[in-house]
Chain A
Amino acid sequence: MSALLKLNNIRKAFAELTVLDNISLALAPGEIVSLLGPSGCGKSTLLRIAAGLDNQFEGELERNPLLEFGKHSGIGVVFQEPRLMPWLNVAENIGFADGWKASPRWVQQLLQDVGLEGRGDALPKELSGGMAQRVAIARGLYGKPQVLLLDEPFSAVDAFTRMRLQDLVISLTRQYEISILLVTHDLDEAIYLSDRVIILGGQPSRIVSELKVPVTHPRDRRAASMAYLKGEALSALYQHQALDPASQSNPHTPPQGH
């Protein structure tokens, strides 16, 4: 089966500065792919391009016609912050795509899926960070997407909430058969969640390495295979100097030893 979402030779520049160069990737149905890289490497920019929120780029974005099949765009997005409308309650936020015509049954089902049953009338200001992010995940799922784009969705919550949200997303994507493109800077998260980890690095960013995670879900965070794969990924990062402090353009540390 062909890819749901395909990025071909993407190049993106902000003014004179090229941030992404020659990036190609494809997302197959049911696949979970992580984009891993240090902050500022342009991985969120790449996700915004995939989401159709940024049209100022060179290269090609191919969407499978299957995505356009339903009433909605076929792509759901969850951002780093929940980005809920503060004047709408939880249920209205989840059904935002349809406004007042939102299906109450589907909203109730999603509330139950993300563990917020009975909280549909609450306002965003009454929610904790983790709960708000659950609402955002439910809103991302409301349009019955085949692709879910996640932009560091767990980075703003505490470690316990993060693990629970990760498991929630995995089980929901299995349940509704959704592919995921996940942007993260967390190596453990990338390896725990995804089938493939694509490592971005360099200036401008290119794909420096790709790591397959051939472990079936549900996975065990404690498994030795996870630790082994993490070692592999770290080697790749060292090899491409993504972890080398000298390669980072940091204005506070002057270049040494020339």
Chain B
Amino acid sequence: MTTQTHPIIRRAARQPRLNSLWQGNWRGWVVPLALLVLLEIIVRLGWLPEHQMPAPSSIVLTLYDLAQSNLWTHTLASLLRVASGFAIGASLAIAIGTWVGLSQRAEAYLEPTFQGLRAIPSLAWVPLLLLWLGIDETPKITLIAIGAFFPVYLALVAGIRNIDRKLIEVGRLYQLSGFTLVRRILLPAALPNLLTGLRGALSLAWMFLVAAELIAATRGLGYLLSDGRETSRPDIVIAAILVLAVLGKLSDGLLKSLEQRALHWRDSFTGGA
């Protein structure tokens, strides 16, 4: 008997160590680090022209130089645009999405219009927004808000329509109605969908920011991108891309940790070991 149970106990004891943090994490660094080293070697050997693909070390130097001059102004300008556009788009989507989710009449009136608007590739708005709103902050923030609106709106309507009817019946039993029903049952129950929608909206907001800034801007990371292209400085372009990647990852991480905190009650599959 002991010989049979022994290996099972040993496996169970080994399980937590395999899951520990550093053991799994270093594997993810292997491929990018190897690629960087390889790239550095190739560029140093002159197999790739420096004016098209700068070496990773010179990109780091460019980043350092930019950080000494105006990188922060550009980053701050972009961050402000994303934050305000995302906030405006997401709040409108939460208000309208809740309404459409709750009322079949609102759905009948509004849903076809939104489906139609959604079918427009959002970048097609750019010329119109520039014509209407000029070239300062307003058209950029509007474009980002349009981009952030639809993922949140769609996720919230779907979330509300997916709520277990039985929970709403409990609410009716306690005579909850209108705003109280929304606050106490509908929004908490739709929160998983809403947060998924918010994360999708945030990544779209960054995308539209770049689109807006590439076309007409004097500040911002998108401007840095097009400036690098016009002055034939691939190192600046890549540096701006890196900053965008870091900002995108950080803002998504913020929402993700919010999601984990707000949804700790969820009893769902979290993936195998």
Contacts and interface: CB of A to CB of B under 8 A. Distances in A.
Interface of A: 51, 53, 73, 77, 79, 81, 83, 85-88, 96-97, 99, 123-125
Given A53-B173, A73-B175, A77-B173, A86 B265 contact: yes
Interface residues of B, number: 17
B249 interface: no
B265 A83 contact: no
Interface in B163-197: 166-167, 169-170, 172-175, 184-185, 188-189, 191
B266 interface: yes
A52 to B, nearest CB: 8
A99 B267 contact: no
B242 to A, nearest CB: 39
14 contacts: A53-B172, A53-B173, A73-B175, A83-B166, A85-B170, A85-B185, A86-B265, A86-B267, A88-B265, A123-B264, A123-B265, A124-B265, A124-B267, A125-B267
A123 B191 CA distance: 17
B265 A81 contact: no
B175 A86 contact: no
Contact of B265 (A51, A87, A96): A87
A51 B173 contact: yes
Interface string B150-168: 0000000000000000110
Contacts of A99: 184
B191 A87 contact: yes
Contact of A125 (B167, B174, B185, B265): B265
Given A53-B169, A88-B265, A96-B174, 4 more contacts: A85-B167, A85-B170, A86-B265, A125-B266
Which 4 A/B pairs are nearest by Cβ-Cβ distance?
A125-B267, A87-B265, A87-B188, A97-B174
Contacts of B185: 85
Contacts of B189: 85, 87
A138 to B, nearest CB: 14
Contacts of B191: 87
Interface of B is mostly: helix
A96 B191 CA distance: 19
A86 B266 contact: yes
Contacts of B166: 79, 81, 83
A86 B189 CA distance: 8
Nearest to A136: B170
Nearest to B166: A83
Nearest to B264: A123
Contacts of A86: 265-267
Most A C-beta atoms less than 10 A away, residue of B169, B172, B265: B265
Most A C-beta atoms less than 10 A away, residue of B166, B173, B184, B189: B173
Nearest to A126: B267
Contacts of B169: 53, 83
A124 B167 CA distance: 14
B188 A85 contact: yes
A81 B191 CA distance: 22
B188 A83 contact: no
B171 to A, nearest CB: 9
A253 B221 CA distance: 72
Contacts of A96: 170, 174
A217 B87 CA distance: 62
Contacts of B184: 99
B181 to A, nearest CB: 12
Contacts of B188: 85, 87
Nearest to B173: A77
Contacts of B175: 73
Most A C-beta atoms less than 10 A away, residue of B167, B172, B174, B266: B174
Contacts of A97: 174
Nearest to B188: A87
B182 to A, nearest CB: 13
A73 B189 CA distance: 25
B87 to A, nearest CB: 24
A83 B189 CA distance: 13
Contacts of A51: 173
Contacts of A77: 173
